[in-house]
Homo-oligomer: A and B are copies of this chain.
């Protein structure tokens, strides 16, 4: 069956039950934004909230706002608000720091747990194609620990089963790959880790808010992720960490005063706070942190099943339209076709991927580029529609047909690509 016409896409938008949620986002005119997997669009509410925090809470409330405006409770309160999106319970999630720092904490605890259970387990297994910061943090921590710890990288998910063995302490995986958009099976890979005596840490950077996640249902051990992608919390907004109750009483190494049982008693010795609060480090950036709530609120007006159904419909449509309308151009689909293995993005390889994306952005279709040769298109069903998808493919077709990408200004590399 041929893909839909643009007017059929417009009709689909008109009957989309969550079409109105788009109005909660401030999208610039004339732009199709397909980079919500890197930086989510701005919720309209964020402007007023930022003004309130800066002008009223900070400006007028001053120091009193730590109590009166609830700043002190934000990390934990927002963690509870985020929790349902990943299948976590109350008191299990905290919004704080960034992924790199949070992974350092969680992996430290996981390795300490394993050192008690079986000191021979000193290997962390992950994917070579994992988002690099995860691998870099493993390196940093293992260097610190010394003593025979090692990182073992596999080249593809197929190799995970044979890589996890009697020497493995932790299986560290990202549920949706940042480059390919491939979605891993969290329940079965966690079960595999557990069968072999390893703990499973899941990075949800590209899955929280993008696909239904159930950390409890999958029996995962730890999880973390960021809020500025599909959760639309703003540039560099603090990340989140999930620690189930069974690991919450463990010491974590970045034991700053926000994780103390009585932070204002100013005791010289550390006593960890009960619960998830122990995974806080020190003072958090309140303005950025407060905006996380503006990103989470739209999710209260829908559910992940609805969002997932629309996300798959959008990415299906995108794939089909590209294959029909851009046929004859050297585009290769990188993202799995199977729904069960696809996140909320579509990646295409093109020999001139970088220049193609630059030319496309100039035409108002904003995706991004990742080495090597990958065009990434993220689909955020909260604010993207079917006609947007049609228009994006049409712009891509145009760029390819006219060889618009073949210009020096598109080939020159920017600092951040």
Contact = CB atoms under 8 A, between A and B. Distances in A.
Interface in A50-76: 50-51, 53-55, 57-60, 62-67, 71-73
Contacts of A286: 234-236, 288
Nearest to A414: B67
A256 interface: yes
Contacts of A143: 251, 253
Contact of A139 (B47, B65, B270): B270
A139 B62 contact: no
Interface string A5-32: 0000000000000000000001010010
The 10 A-B residue pairs with the shortest CB-CB distance, nearest first, are: A100-B256, A285-B288, A100-B282, A140-B255, A235-B286, A133-B257, A98-B282, A285-B285, A42-B59, A136-B270
20 contacts: A42-B55, A42-B58, A58-B235, A62-B366, A67-B414, A67-B416, A73-B415, A97-B101, A99-B282, A101-B101, A104-B254, A135-B270, A136-B255, A136-B257, A226-B283, A236-B284, A236-B286, A236-B289, A237-B287, A288-B289
Interface of A: 26, 28, 31, 33, 35, 38-39, 41-42, 46-47, 50-51, 53-55, 57-60, 62-67, 71-73, 97-101, 104, 108, 128-133, 135-137, 139-141, 143-145, 153, 179, 226, 228, 234-239, 251-260, 263-270, 281-289, 291, 361, 366, 368, 370-371, 414-417
